Structure 1
């Protein structure tokens, strides 16, 4: 298995660190390996202890390596948090080719030009997302390569982040003896998997409910227009269970995963379990209804906060409704509460790949799809006949001066790291 045929994603969450290995075969993605480990050193989506985070990353990588039998040396890392900001920008360049045909180099130069913006010293650019290209004033172009023109422009969204957060994340990955191939905004990655083209165009809110934080990403006219993070998530439900049933947090999490139901009216009275009490050797018996009385108020509060935040950051009607994903949305009855509180169409996004059919894997699989999409876009510049027939074929490294698609993508992203 060569490096050109695999993409490895790293999703560092509050409760779990997940490593997913995707193999490219005949232009299709196959998930061949998954590794996960309990997160240590992460609180509400932010790194608070580098050494503990490094150990969690190493455990997840080792788990994935043992599953597939390969050594992982480089990863694409997802990034999120309330330090992420979006800024509109505009870039203009003259087409360089004598025949005025727009090539990959021109697209790269205009994207570089769009990055020339004023930034505070504590922030840095971590990504550029083109919204549309303009060729000699003609608007609405998504891919200008091959077109004839003199002037190439781009309207882009610049993704910026706090240097402290970005460098701490990179430091953790590097100390885990991995090379960072690129940073990917989680919202863009999960949208690649979770949202259809029509949903992005109509206007849709992608809600990623993790353990320590909930990330909202609003898409409209095909582009990411707003993103924000709420400091609430599945851990708050677990803490409520721990307090309400007077048990340890670890036991509360296991009870939530096994017996949790977000709707009291759907809970079963005959579903009975025993819980060891804190401070004593005794156990107390509870029913699923008792547990639901603890879970439902918190779940409703989370969606009320989501509804309030969406109304605060956007004035437009969300025609496409809401798409929810993340590790905390698997609880029974949660979708019904979301529909009641948000008063809109809501669906759960789940990766359609064997072994990762769980909303918790949406980000990790989304990173692989996002990287593959942009690598394939840039690979159109490669004239290798082997590649045009089989997109997963190895490129001849000795016979051509052009780098491979993934190598070019890594070089392009390396400027943000």
Structure 2
């Protein structure tokens, strides 16, 4: 991929499917296109209907394509869930060059050596994340390329996932006429945008509150050390509003976005809104204070569950740099202050600093682009520019057969993805 190439991320969430087109120019990321579609066929972050999920992906892709003259064929995808496991691993190789200078080939071999572990047949290796490199006994090296040595070691973390979940995700993307250029663990990708280097080194908890689930990820010594996914998120707040105000889920979602407040103390009696109630043609008036009395208990429960999960992972709220919130739910006014009260720790909200995506809901999508550009730039395939004479809908007709042909040549999509992940540039 050249300096003016594109990297396209695909974030399949419970409420939204987001496609973000990033242009890489001289190492700088510019967001040039965004496509968003209502997510269908997803519950609590898991695919429950492939056909509906494919429709949502296609809709988001087409919307992004209309913003930029590019036909999207290759995407990088985020993956998460409690089926993901982290496992410590180590690789050791001899430096191959005659002058004993460590090269990309040596790093590739030590990464592959670290993946030689026993993996149950129902699981698949997704990625290997280096913690440190060791050259002739000298450790804490982030990038050993160009160094001199005889023996190269790597301490890393192997990330594995359930084959069934991975294959269903791959199938949805293939049926949408796309091919996978890379698959990353969502907390790792989000951390590229949400967290600062010092926070990762000293210790911080990244809390991504989505519609269907909440991801809790702990970073220490510059790397991900533990993470878990809680089956609770913004949809639970929406359902509480729908029940409390006796309205439809769709109306409750709009009320939450437009009038929501997560802290009763900050809610206003003067801010009122009309609600169309189920079973009645008469609209009823409610105040923001009444709405906050519904939202605050559920939001507080989310943070209490986060704290409980931290204890199960072997941590507590005294972690040095506290908590960083992201995800669409982090937009609710008063949520930050409520988090500080409930967790009794420093808390901030992470927002991507790019035009067009300055919203916590886009953290994962932008993070995927930054993560790929940082570590895997040389392995990203080129997108195909649209020719004026080429109808846009030919992508739907021809992309899937072409993708299948390419995957057949590589020995199958899962092998292709696995082999691609094993290379760390």
* 1:109-124 aligned within 5 A: 109-124=109-124
What's the CA shift for 1:2? 7.2
Counterpart of 2:248 in structure 1 is 248
Structure 2: how far apart are the matches of 1:409 and 1:253?
37
Counterpart of 1:289 in structure 2 is 289
Secondary structure class of the residue paired with 1:324: strand
User: CA RMSD of the aligned region, Å?
Assistant: 1.9
CA displacement 1:113-159 (0-9 Å, x = unmatched): 00011111111100110000111111111111111111111001000
Structure 2: how far apart are the matches of 1:173 and 1:376?
21
Counterpart of 1:301 in structure 2 is 301
Counterpart of 1:136 in structure 2 is 136
What TM-score comes out, normalization by structure 2 length? 0.88
Counterpart of 1:151 in structure 2 is 151
Structure 1: how far apart are the matches of 2:378 and 2:136?
22
Counterpart of 1:387 in structure 2 is none
The gaps in structure 1 that reach 5 residues or longer are 380-407
C-alpha spacing 1:69/1:28, structure 2 compared with 1 (3 Å): same
What's the CA shift for 1:259? 0.2
Counterpart of 1:333 in structure 2 is 334
Aligned residues between the structures: 388
Structure 2: how far apart are the matches of 1:410 and 1:166?
11
What's the CA shift for 1:377? 8.2
Counterpart of 1:63 in structure 2 is 63
Matched-pair contact (CA < 8 Å) for 1:181–1:410: no
What's the CA shift for 1:3? 9.4
Structure 2: how far apart are the matches of 1:146 and 1:415?
18
Counterpart of 1:363 in structure 2 is 364
Structure 2: how far apart are the matches of 1:144 and 1:409?
25
C-alpha spacing 1:56/1:370, structure 2 compared with 1 (3 Å): same
Matched-pair contact (CA < 8 Å) for 1:20–1:35: yes
The gaps in structure 2 that reach 5 residues or longer are 381-415
CA displacement 1:264-306 (0-9 Å, x = unmatched): 1111111111111112222111111111111011011110111
Instruction: Return 309-318 or 126-135, whichever deviates more.
Output: 309-318
* 1:272-287 aligned within 5 A: 272-287=272-287
Counterpart of 1:74 in structure 2 is 74
Matched-pair contact (CA < 8 Å) for 1:374–1:409: no
RCO (CA 8 Å, sep 6+): is it higher in 1 or 2?
2
What TM-score comes out, normalization by structure 1 length? 0.90
What's the CA shift for 1:412? 2.6
Structure 1: how far apart are the matches of 2:127 and 2:357?
27
C-alpha spacing 1:221/1:2, structure 2 compared with 1 (3 Å): closer
* 1:101-250 aligned within 5 A: 101-250=101-250
Counterpart of 1:345 in structure 2 is 346
